């Protein structure tokens, strides 16, 4: 069972997608199994982290940018190699256990689409590009 | 098939959970499929790494703390944003293939609950908190 | 359904394994489900990243080596603790959704065996070791 969603990611941020994952799992009718959340982009990832204090996401963005900064040695012409690095550090997917029809997340866990490309806001500001839509896909398996 | 375990993680360390994963897979009766090991905490993760030389785990902790140190710019009041970062770098889950009823791990691979919150030992030392129990969950799918 | 492949990784690099994953999924006959690509080594990982511009892979190697350099404090006698770190940052596996018999990868995504051990080329140059073969395993689940 496959579900696809889009979101408007106009700037570097962690976008909560827990509601969409819950919705898809409910639609699937699967009560016990797993759900895979997959990001088909190479400069974004899927992360599971704190759902309560928005300061955590703020700090995640800072810490990732410090660990994986842009570098003079980088060759990729688009100038967003740091985002490619952060994408592989976060991972292209997350797998969550489904138990009794519900996501088996911890109390403080939320699922995020991590848009970690610092150049996204510049691209969105270009003429004729009012927004950059990103996709994510879910597959539930019993 | 869902299995839950707890462990006492009183300090920053990689705790081997390979025996528990093997036990759960044996109980599941699944001979060919996958097992998902999931960490429901946001300052810990699941990692697969060297099972033989304990110096590797020692070095992993050092390398992670150097790559993702605490920073003055961090806002999260609990003071453990670095652990949140390391958790997303390690990942909240690991997926291992089951073949002929056994985990298809490499010769040198072990599965670890990575408690990477440097503030854990201080919390454990607080009055009335002699230990901090952490959970992990497994789901085997055929 | 389990599939095993080997590749000759004689130096630090991201080796494309997308063709092998496509082949295994076709052989499996699974039209809707997931495929897990697993690396049974502790100094290599599986990553999903840009498939078009080889400069991205070049930059990924540089960025990983900067974030996780070798350190004087490391104790592991083999001298490749940095590779163990990078392996856990990349992850030991990738999970990709299968839809209508095809991998649900994004336009720019490829699957890579990430050989991130800088000491590999020295080992390969040792007498009687003309190449170091590495394995990866796939399991498709409907």
Domain around C51: 2-141
Q: Which residues of chain C have pLDDT under 50?
A: none
Question: Residue B131 burial by CB count (10 A; 0-12/13-18/19+): exposed, middle or buried?
Answer: exposed
What are the chain B neighbours of C40 within 8 Å (beta carbons)? 104-107, 109
pLDDT at res. A128? 63
Query: What is the pLDDT confidence band of residue A124, given thresholds at 50, 70 and 90?
Result: confident
Q: Tell me whether C52 touches chain A (CB under 8 Å).
A: no
Q: Which two three-digit tokens encode residue B9?
A: 């993680």
Q: Tell me whether C142 touches chain B (CB under 8 Å).
A: no
CB within 8 Å of A63: residues ≥ 6 apart: B68, B71, B74, B81, B82, B85
User: Quick one: which of A45, A59, A48 has its CA closest to A88?
Assistant: A45
Write down the pTM of the prediction.
0.96
Contacts 24+ apart (CB under 8 A), B21-24: B21/B96, B21/B103, B21/B111, B21/B138, B22/B102, B22/B103, B24/B138, B24/B140
User: Quick one: which of A81, A76, A80, A72 has its CA closest to A119?
Assistant: A80
- Are C97 and A137 within 8 A, CB to CB? yes
pLDDT at res. A132? 74
User: Quick one: which of C23, C57, C16 has its CA closest to C1?
Assistant: C23
Residue pairs spanning A and B at CB distance below 8 A: 100
Pairing of β A44-50 and β A109-115: antiparallel
- Are B58 and C67 within 8 A, CB to CB? no
Please write the tens of the pLDDT for every residue from A14-39: 999 999 999 999 999 999 999 999 99
- Are C50 and A42 within 8 A, CB to CB? yes
Name the residue facing B81 among A32, A59, A142 (closest C-beta).
Answer: A59
Q: Which two three-digit tokens encode residue B34?
A: 């996958």
User: Quick one: which of C36, C86, C84, C112 has its CA closest to B49?
Assistant: C84
Q: Which chains touch B (3 or more CB pairs under 8 A)?
A: A, C
What are the chain B neighbours of C42 within 8 Å (beta carbons)? 48-50, 56, 106, 108-109
Total structural domains within chain A: 1
pLDDT at res. A118? 86
Residue B130 confidence (pLDDT) above 60: no
How many Å separate Cα A44 from the centre of its chain? 6
How many CB atoms are located within 10 Å of the residue C88 CB? 28
Strand order in the sheet with A109-115: A13-16, A109-115, A44-50
Residue B87 confidence (pLDDT) above 70: yes
What are the chain A neighbours of C89 within 8 Å (beta carbons)? 88-89
Name the residue facing C59 among A1, A67, A81 (closest C-beta).
Answer: A81
CA distance A133 to chain B (A): 24
Residue A13 confidence (pLDDT) above 80: yes
Average pLDDT value for chain B: 94
Query: Which CATH number goes with the domain that contains C25?
Result: 2.60.120.460
Is the CB of residue A133 less than 8 Å from the CB of residue A4?
no
Q: Tell me whether C30 touches chain B (CB under 8 Å).
A: no
- Are A34 and B68 within 8 A, CB to CB? no
Please write the tens of the pLDDT for every residue from A54-107: 999 999 999 999 999 999 999 999 999 999 999 999 999 999 999 999 999 999
Q: Write the DSSP symbol of residue A74.
A: -
Residue B131 confidence (pLDDT) above 70: no
- Are C53 and A88 within 8 A, CB to CB? no
Q: Tell me whether B111 touches chain C (CB under 8 Å).
A: no
How many CB atoms are located within 10 Å of the residue A100 CB? 8
How many Å separate Cα B126 from the centre of its chain? 23
Residue B103 confidence (pLDDT) above 90: yes
């Amino acid at each position: 069972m496959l579900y696809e969603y889009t979101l408007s990611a106009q700037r570097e941020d962690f976008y909560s997608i827990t509601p969409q994952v819950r919705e898809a799992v409910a639609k699937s009718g699967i009560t016990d199994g797993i759900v895979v959340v997959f990001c088909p982009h190479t400069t974004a990832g899927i992360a599971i982290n704190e759902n309560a204090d928005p300061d955590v996401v703020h700090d995640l963005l800072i810490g990732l940018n410090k660990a994986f900064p842009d570098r003079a040695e980088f060759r990729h012409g688009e100038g967003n190699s740091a985002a490619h690095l952060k994408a592989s550090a976060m991972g292209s997917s997350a797998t969550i256990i489904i138990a009794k029809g519900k996501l088996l997340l911890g109390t403080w866990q939320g699922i995020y689409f991590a848009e970690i490309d610092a150049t996204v806001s510049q691209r969105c500001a270009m003429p004729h590009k009012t927004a950059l839509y990103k996709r994510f896909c879910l597959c539930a398996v019993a």
